Chain A
């Protein structure tokens, strides 16, 4: 009882501190390359957050989050590509190389930045709603759903690779200039770009946290525990699963847009199986039951990869794999559970009267 880890107020304070630290970074970091790198970690944090929401809270293991991320990224890249096309030069160069003489239908909506951005977010979200709806209605769950997402991911990967004239094939898209929004250019190496990602990460995290605390979140956790039982309480399990899967996809799509804004590049590699698996590993190591833990997991792993990856080269993957096995074996709920048990020990050692007054602090299995 009285474990600070489960105290809602303490949780919100932790969130506040976490984002305060992230907000200080651009004020202290002068190196624009480093700032850009930190911003990409923010994108990975968003992806880990989306996995935590779907897998940790909803119990839906999704090995194909790269679909939503990739589609969002392609939509954004197409929008940015079209921003640099002019009247005299209306077609992206790679299309000319593939002997297209006019802009294909698929690309036309992206001539408008507004429509392009809406599509970049809406298309992946709609995909999740439809695909999830079909799967969950048919009561596909657990490892079977994971396999379906993996298959879907591979299908998208193949299509994008194959339709070279429309997607740039293996080279992907490399919009030549930075993203322009409402007449303002967002330089990917500027603090502005960092702030954009920061705001989306914080917004997504706060919304995700509120979702887990809502009645919806409670039903979702009940479904994770025993979907069969929840049906007899009157809840449509398929409906809840579809909604949480779609919200998770929406966050990943936003992450995809942010990512392209930062790196001005997208290729089928973003829909590669290994990248989607990395997202799951971030959440697993950080602690999939904790939103903040998952984001931290992404920072930790990607940070380590950036700095140790160069030193160890190929052995880095072995180190990462070994670390993953260790965590899964000894900390099945990730690094966050270390904090949970630590604070739990503290609470049992000093049974303070404050713990009494804290009757509302429930041992939510989440956070």
Chain B
């Protein structure tokens, strides 16, 4: 099966510092790929490059066989890539309901949207996602007053409202309770049936539970890739990442 997302020899330098160095990755459709690595390995920067937040200095990114390298953020989002940020980014002045409504971005043309008041299919989808995210009782609250955990759920809900083909999740379980982490794992596994996921996560227990493929990054390049078993057995990975974690 061809990769839904293909990253070829990606590089990004800030001045003289190489943050991403000749990084390549292929994510097969319908799988869940976990991106791990020590702090500063370039995981979030990779997501920034995929979603167009920053432009690469070299290399190519293909999504569904289309070149999306250095395209604008909204063009990439429309192509079918949704993203949850490391620091949860919700629209704090709007209500939870409005946050979810605005994320249902099937129609993005400003002129069409002038004449749209209740997008078709919105209500069903909103109810479904609100239930999934456990926010049904909070729909009319301002998003700014939610707790950290609820904010995480809201942003996950927003990404799901977008119905993307590829979901990028940057540290989705930070600040969640054990029960919520289990629920997240269940949801992610479910999502694999209809979408492809890249999850950046530090919690190896969580990674062990959900990952089909684990990609380890170190100093901006690919260190190892494989199943969780293969990766954990890799001495280089133990050296730079896992060993470090156990020592900590």
Contact = CB atoms under 8 A, between A and B. Distances in A.
A221 interface: yes
Contact of A222 (B78, B97, B98): B98
Interface of B: 51, 53, 72-74, 77-78, 82-83, 85, 89-95, 97-98, 101-103, 105, 107-111, 113-117, 119, 140, 142, 158, 162
Given A231-B77, A233-B102, A234-B78, A226 B111 contact: no
B94 A215 contact: no
Pairs A-B, 5 closest by C-beta atoms: A234-B77, A231-B73, A216-B113, A215-B113, A215-B116
Given A213-B117, A224-B93, A226-B89, 15 more contacts: A215-B116, A218-B102, A228-B89, A230-B91, A231-B72, A231-B74, A231-B77, A232-B74, A233-B162, A234-B77, A234-B162, A235-B108, A243-B114, A362-B97, A363-B142
Nearest to B93: A225
Contacts of A232: 51, 53, 73-74, 77, 82-83
A222 B108 CA distance: 13
21 contacts: A213-B117, A214-B114, A214-B116, A218-B98, A218-B101, A219-B102, A219-B113, A222-B91, A224-B93, A229-B89, A231-B72, A232-B74, A233-B102, A233-B158, A234-B78, A234-B105, A235-B108, A240-B110, A243-B111, A362-B97, A363-B142
Contact of B103 (A224, A233, A365): A233
A327 to B, nearest CB: 21
A299 B109 CA distance: 36
A225 B91 contact: yes
Contacts, number: 95
Interface string A344-367: 000000000000000100111100
A146 interface: no
B74 A235 contact: yes
Contacts of A215: 101, 107, 113, 116-117, 119
Contacts of B74: 231-237
Contacts of B119: 215
Contacts of A231: 72-74, 77
Nearest to B118: A215
B165 to A, nearest CB: 13
A324 B110 CA distance: 35
B117 A214 contact: yes
**Counting chain A CB atoms within 10 Å of each CB, which of B92, B110, B116, B140 scores highest?**
B110
A225 B108 contact: no
Contacts of A229: 85, 89-91
A1 B137 CA distance: 13
B162 to A, nearest CB: 6
A245 B114 CA distance: 14
A198 to B, nearest CB: 24
A211 B93 contact: no
Contact of B140 (A226, A228, A363): A363
Interface in A310-367: 359, 362-365
Contacts of A90: none
B98 A221 contact: yes
A230 B74 CA distance: 8
A332 to B, nearest CB: 13
Nearest to A365: B93
